[in-house]
Amino acid sequence: MGPKGSKQAKKKHNAKKLKNKQIEEELKIEKEEVRNQVNILVLGTGESGKSTFIKQLLILHKGGFNQTDRETYFSTIRKNVVIHTVQMVSACKSFGWELEEKNHELAREFMNIKTSEIKELKTKTVTKVRQLWSDPALKKAYKNRHKFHLPDSSNFYLDDLDRIGDPEYSPTDEDILLCRIPTTGINKISFNFGETPWTVVDIGGQRSERRKWLHQFDNVTLLIYVVAINEFNQKLFEDEEVNRLLESLVLFEKTSNDKYFKEKNCVIFFNKIDLFESKINSEDLSQCFPDYEGGNDPDEAKKFIKLKFLEAGENESRNIFCHYTCATDTKNIENVFDAVNISIIENTLKDGGYM
């Protein structure tokens, strides 16, 4: 090979060497970004409040809800007003709770409504819903909603029909936070918390959705498990023979001790604490846990449930931190989220070699 060929070969060699160095630098930067990335997986059974937690993160870190969001919830909330009324009328018939005579014909009309075909909330329907909601039998149905499937927030909208039923109605943040739309598939939100990039993933909690969890286990920094602590006297929508809180406990034990999570720090949000404290005054926790002997004392009941979950997830390889939350309370979630960041994330990153 002549001098010219040697120079060309050397030039190619140097170019390749420079290219390799650039690739190495890019990989190094990418690796560092991954090391500093906080990935949180939010799990829990259906209706535990996971999606509400994600909505709060939108408010706190992404500027809240846009006009498209509000238009979507406008339709959902107004349709739910009719759906929840139908559910309560059906419950009255099933449990033998007699409506006032003047409402018998109206109740029959609502019994014939197919909820899947509800398209909108008409003005004349608002009047009918208002009349039914004023019936003592429907109030009894709502009070006994743990005996059938009815969202806790249904009374919030029914008590404010003048506002919700107005054609010019625009959902407030509180309306959206309280609105129940089952999560299907995977919802992801990314933002910077301080200078650290966060990604929070919420996956549907219904039994049919849980198979999707396995695809989200890689590179998880922290597991947040959400428990609807007020569900100790309620049954699953999918299986009316199964207690909701027991289902949540069994699922937490299975998930948190899975090979992907057994060495990961975990946070438990005992959610809907406001509803729990109201319910425990008249409902005994022993109907869920026969070994409970604390009566109607809310502090004793909370400690008992907390201990059950800690025992279910206990091992020497990780810490489990607990918080009592009300996911619809933005300030509460902000305070809890700050506590999670300060007391857990730094520790988790150090344990995982991220810091």
Report which of residues 212 and 78 the model is more confident about.
78
In the predicted structure, residue 70 carries a pLDDT above the cut 70:
yes
Q: Beta strand 38-44 with 186-193: parallel, antiparallel or unpaired? A: unpaired
Active site residues: 47, 52, 180, 202, 206
48 is in an annotated binding site: yes
Mean pLDDT for all residues in the chain: 84
Q: Identify the helix (H) or strand (E) that includes residue 193.
A: strand 186-193
Name which of 69, 77, 172 is nearest 129 in CA terms.
Answer: 77
* Range picked from 114-118, 285-289, 319-323 for highest mean pLDDT: 285-289
Question: Would you say 177 is a known binding-site residue?
Answer: yes
The confidence score (pLDDT) of residue 114 equals 87
Distances from the Cα of 106 to the Cαs of 16, 85, 110, 112, in angstroms?
Answer: 81, 11, 6, 10
pLDDT at 209 over 90: no
Residue closest to 48 by CA, chosen among 355, 343, 329, 327:
327
CATH fold, domain 40-62+200-345, is Rossmann fold (3.40.50)
Q: Quick one: average pLDDT of 83-96?
A: 96
> Is the confidence at residue 321, as pLDDT, over 60?
yes
Q: Which CATH architecture has domain 67-178?
A: Orthogonal Bundle (1.10)
The predicted-structure confidence for 107-133, as pLDDT tens digits, reads as follows: 999 999 988 888 888 889 999 999 999
Q: Is the pLDDT of residue 29 over 50?
A: no
- As given in the structure block, the two tokens for residue 210 are 């849980």
- Is 272 annotated as contributing to ligand binding? yes
Which residues in the chain are classed under CATH 3.40.50.300? 40-62+200-345
Q: Is 145 annotated as a binding residue?
A: no
* Token representation of residue 188: 């992801």
Q: What gap in Å lies between CA 202 and CA 197, rounded to an integer?
A: 17
CATH 1.10.400.10 residue window(s) in the chain:
67-178
Task: Check residue 10 and give its pLDDT.
Answer: 63
Is pLDDT of 333 > 60?
A: yes
DSSP state of 210: G
Question: Which pLDDT score, from 0 to 100, does residue 172 have?
Answer: 96
**Per the annotation, does 258 bind a ligand?**
no
pLDDT tens sequence across 125-156: 999 999 999 999 999 999 999 888 898 899 99
- Residue 137 annotated as part of some ligand binding site: no
Lowest mean pLDDT among 46-55, 231-240, 303-312: 231-240
DSSP single-letter state for residue 342: I
150 labelled binding-site residue: no
pTM of the model: 0.82
Locate 349 and state its tokens.
Answer: 């990153």
